[in-house]
Structure 1
Amino acid sequence: MKVEDCFEIGYISKTRGLKGEVQVAFTFSEPEKLKISAVFIEISNKLVPYFVSNYKIPMPMIGYFNFEDIDHIDKASIITKRKIFLPNKLKPKRKKGEFFFTDLIGFTADDLHKGDLGEILDVQEYPQQFIATLKYQEKEVMIPLNEAFIAEIDMDKKAVHFDLPDGLLDL
């Protein structure tokens, strides 16, 4: 399985207990809609399959997983801090017109005052908001994705037009 054939659902943040359970921090916006029986974990730039014996999602964006053949904390610690993927065919279907901020990855960005900002490389969800990451003038810049800063999103041209406050790009 190749990364291009999959979508990221999160990463294993830490071990939990002594019997091999791990905590997963979801990056996929609606983890409760996922059907998970096996996952792919990125190890040495390769996707390795792991079969899920059970899992639960007790809090928003946090899950606890047990994998077959991982029955001790020592075995579980090997897979911590690694990304987890599912095959694209298991991605939940969206309703027509449904939009997520992560859809903006690959869009071009510009500011009404500064002009071209570059391509949106990544979008991360933080507790209070989504943040877009892009490379502007040879440095990585993070821009909050909120109504106050977004002037327009042009889905046809794959472009985001920002109206950023002075000094935000200098941070």
Structure 2
Amino acid sequence: MKQEEAFYIGYVTKTKGLKGEVQVFFEFEEYEQLEMDVIFADMNGKLVPYFIETFKLYPNKTGLFYFDDIDHIDKAQPLLKKKLYLPLTQKPERDESEFFYTDLKGFMAVDETLGQLGEILEVNEYPQQFVATVLYKETEILFPLNEDFIVEIDDEERILTLDLPEGLLDIYLES
């Protein structure tokens, strides 16, 4: 399977016990809805299938997995920190009315005071909030995505209008 035929769901964080069990951290929003019998791990640019023997999901975006033929901690070691994927055909359908902050990737960020900031290159989820990354004046800047700063989301034009706090961008632009 090629990378274009798959979608990213998370990565292996650590081993647990001596019998080859691994912990997975899910970055895919609706991980509970995933149908998983095989997961593909990115091993040096190639997606390698790992057949799931058993797994248990937890509400903190993690899960514990046993894979076929991995019955010892030593056999699980190569999976540590590896990104995990599922085939696109297994991606859950979303209701058209559902919108996530991660959908803003590729939108143009426009501040009411400063004007056009640039295209949103990345949206990362941190424990307290989502943070967008934009290349502004040849400098990578980060700003929180929260209701206090978002003025409007124009889905058709793919424009995010913001009212960022005064001085927020100065932190990045001062050198």
Fold conserved between structures, TM > 0.5: yes
Greater Cα offset, 57-66 or 25-34: 57-66
Structure 1: stretches of 5+ with no match in the other structure: none
Structure 2: stretches of 5+ with no match in the other structure: none
Greater Cα offset, 119-128 or 141-150: 119-128
Equivalent residue number for residue 107 of structure 1: 107
Count how many residue pairs are aligned between Structure 1 and Structure 2.
Answer: 171
Cα offset, 1:73, TM superposition: 1.3
Give the TM-score of the pair, scaled to structure 1.
0.93
Equivalent residue number for residue 155 of structure 1: 155
State the distance in 2 between where 1:99 and 1:147 align.
Answer: 14
The structure-2 alpha-carbon separation of the partners of 1:21 and 1:98, relative to structure 1 and needing over 3 Å to count, comes to same
What is the SS of the residue equivalent to 1:52? strand
Greater Cα offset, 94-103 or 28-37: 94-103
State the distance in 2 between where 1:150 and 1:26 align.
Answer: 26
State the distance in 1 between where 2:30 and 2:110 align.
Answer: 29
**Divergent runs of 4+, >6 A:** none
State the distance in 2 between where 1:77 and 1:134 align.
Answer: 36
Give the TM-score of the pair, scaled to structure 2.
0.91
Q: How does 1:20-169 map onto structure 2 within 5 Å?
A: 20-169=20-169
State the distance in 2 between where 1:31 and 1:159 align.
Answer: 28
Cα offset, 1:59, TM superposition: 2.8
Cα offset, 1:96, TM superposition: 2.9
Q: 1:82-135 CA deviation, whole Å, 9 max, x = no partner?
A: 111111111111123111111111111121122222221221222221111222
What is the SS of the residue equivalent to 1:56? strand
Identical residues among aligned pairs (%): 53
